[in-house]
Structure 1
């Protein structure tokens, strides 16, 4: 279950996506990140009964508008999602997509967050899923199992260049293909580790030789300090 922030003003008149760094019209950037974070959490607890009811009814769209406004007030370029939690029932993720200009706002948001409990946990970047091989992504008419994603990874010091392959990628349009190139990596590594350790990311149109699974990629990236400067492949 995931509810991503949607921006009704995203496409321009000719259908070209806008610069994601451009704030929404008439939406000011708060001058005090700490104060904005405190306001966020006050409003969050006011909304929480409605959020809980919508999630309990499996109708998260009922609170999407309110949550969009809440996150935009913290900073208009932040994104959010509601997820299944790793240890709690639900997780609220507020992410700046590793933009350094947004880090003060996500840092303040996380610092002011309440402690995780049995119902809610809070993340300032998209966390990895426990087992990416068990995830299936519904993308239009396509159901894409991340268990079928294969990766070629080349390590260069403390960063990795990767090429991502899935047999369904050739059937997707360019935007969907880009999504399905990066989504498996974020799901496997988490947004922050992927941003820190992945340098060049490419889409492979045909399956390359010497690929590894997403689980093997996770082990590789987490163990970079022990395995510098090599190309890694295998049957997975």
Structure 2
């Protein structure tokens, strides 16, 4: 079993109350994207050194400052890559007011190579059943997760009940983490945001529950019928 692939760099987001609605100029978004990529090129040797030394946290603050050049309310992380070693992810977390900035950022991104790839949403894990979550030194394999899904045609959303046999020994916050993490690992950020409705933590195994790979196939099938952009993520 693989250990849960934690984010190498934690997400950073500006704190504060509600943002004022802002008009986004495509020209300004493109300018900010170019500014970010210039800064990224400057930081890249230090980022690589931090990753190589196993001390990624030493770059947290400087990367957060670089992302703030694009927009201070964006989130970032460095993930394991799908085709490259690492993936730089900058995401609006489905906030439509921030999407122009991530669109401009992605459009201006360098071509991916063997070391780096770039995503504007956290991608799904190729096989979530190979992931194991570690909580307080105890291992919780995601291949034991079962999901009961019900499609609400009126909302075009999938309501889910998530079960893991280890829920009984976890506190509320830990159960919540072990409920939502498999959904995001299985579907990726975009598809989860677009298609998941109500989420419940099941105390016992629900009827008609399936494993995570079957659940992903089911949700992707619904999304493909409706033409969702996240359906093809892999």
What band does the TM-score fall into relative to the shorter chain? 0.7 to 0.9
Shift of the 227–47 alpha-carbon distance from structure 1 to 2, 3 Å rule, reads: closer
Asked whether the 8 Å contact 1:97–1:125 carries over to 2, the reply is yes
> 1:155 is paired with a residue of what secondary structure?
strand
Q: Equivalent of 1:77, from 56, 69, 73?
A: 73
The aligned counterpart of 1:183 is 181
User: Is 1:59 paired with 2:55?
Assistant: yes
The aligned counterpart of 1:93 is 89
The aligned counterpart of 2:131 is 135
Deviation readout 1:64-110 (Å, 9 max, x if unpaired):
11111111232222111111110011100111111112111111111
User: Is 1:150 paired with 2:156?
Assistant: no
Q: Equivalent of 1:35, from 31, 37, 60?
A: 31
Aligned length: 215
User: Please, what TM-score do these two structures have when normalized by structure 1?
Assistant: 0.82
Shift of the 99–166 alpha-carbon distance from structure 1 to 2, 3 Å rule, reads: same
User: 1:22 Cα shift?
Assistant: 5.6
User: Is 1:162 paired with 2:160?
Assistant: yes
The aligned counterpart of 1:233 is none
Q: CA RMSD in A?
A: 2.6
Give the Cα separation in 2 of the matches to 1:80 and 1:144: 26
Deviation readout 1:163-198 (Å, 9 max, x if unpaired):
111122333333333222221111101110111111
Asked whether the 8 Å contact 2:24–2:100 carries over to 1, the reply is no
Asked whether the 8 Å contact 2:161–2:202 carries over to 1, the reply is yes
User: Is 1:222 paired with 2:228?
Assistant: no
Give the Cα separation in 2 of the matches to 1:198 and 1:167: 22
> 2:93 is paired with a residue of what secondary structure?
coil
Shift of the 217–185 alpha-carbon distance from structure 1 to 2, 3 Å rule, reads: same
Give the Cα separation in 2 of the matches to 1:52 and 1:149: 35
Asked whether the 8 Å contact 2:12–2:74 carries over to 1, the reply is no
> 1:223 is paired with a residue of what secondary structure?
helix
User: 1:57 Cα shift?
Assistant: 1.5
Shift of the 42–227 alpha-carbon distance from structure 1 to 2, 3 Å rule, reads: closer
> 1:190 is paired with a residue of what secondary structure?
helix
The aligned counterpart of 1:109 is 105
User: Please, what TM-score do these two structures have when normalized by structure 2?
Assistant: 0.82
Asked whether the 8 Å contact 1:22–1:77 carries over to 2, the reply is no
Asked whether the 8 Å contact 1:161–1:201 carries over to 2, the reply is yes
Give the Cα separation in 2 of the matches to 1:146 and 1:41: 36
